[in-house]
Amino acid sequence: MRLHRLLIPLMGVLGIVLLFSCTKTYTCHCLLTHTSAPGLPDTTYNEFNITDTKGNAQNLCRQKSGVFYNNWIYTIDSCYLY
């Protein structure tokens, strides 16, 4: 009887832990905006997959965002989990 009372809550906690620690494949969508570059398209996009937990995938995707400068070309990358 006593084991039964402990087993059910333990199984519930274990189920919640497994639910939130599962890894899945998420798609990171990045919108690339080019400025100061005649001949380049104004906006393009890039997508790539991240296999991780949702929280880690969001952080990895957001880290790809930023403003970059190379050879007189400014690129603004805005990335979000799709």
**In Å, what is the CA distance from 23 to each residue of 34, 42, 57?**
34, 35, 9
Does the pLDDT at position 1 exceed 60?
A: no
Domain spans, the chain: 21-81
pLDDT, tens only, 16-48 = 666 566 789 999 999 998 877 677 777 889 999
Question: What pLDDT was estimated at residue 2?
Answer: 65
**In Å, what is the CA distance from 59 to each residue of 8, 12, 31, 74?**
34, 28, 17, 23
Query: Cα–chain-centroid distance for residue 50?
Result: 7
- C-beta neighbour count of 35 within 10 angstroms: 13
The predicted model gives 9-18 an average pLDDT of 67
Question: What pLDDT was estimated at residue 37?
Answer: 67
Does the pLDDT at position 4 exceed 90?
A: no
| Residue 75 vs residue 58, higher pLDDT | 58
